[in-house]
Amino acid sequence: MRNNLKVERAIKNITQENLANAVSVSRQTINAIETGKYVPSTVLALKIARYFSKTVEEIFILEEND
């Protein structure tokens, strides 16, 4: 699964730490999501999407091989 999380953070000019605090996870979790090492739960994906006022599909892209 790809994601646009780093791009969305850059647009809002927020750090991984800021986002992590906003959605109640660690900075390491945000980093792992951005680098593709961790796929977030549905609840976490929804929290992240809501934070950016986007749909889940605008941030997380399901690829054919997923």
Question: 21 lies in which domain range?
Answer: 2-61
Question: Does any domain span residue 49?
Answer: yes
Contact 44, 25 (CB under 8 A): yes
Cα(4)–Cα(13) distance, rounded to whole angstroms?
14
Contact 40, 5 (CB under 8 A): no
- Per-residue pLDDT tens digits of the chain, which is 66 residues long: 899 999 999 999 999 999 999 999 999 999 999 999 999 999 999 999 999 999 999 999 988 887
**Tally of domains within the chain:** 1
Q: What is the pLDDT of residue 11?
A: 96
Q: What is the pLDDT of residue 64?
A: 84
CA 10 to chain centre: 12
Residue 57 token pair: 């599909």
pTM metric for this prediction: 0.92
Residue 50 token pair: 């809501």
Question: Does any domain span residue 66?
Answer: no
CA 7 to chain centre: 10
Q: What is the pLDDT of residue 65?
A: 82
Residue 5 token pair: 């999380």
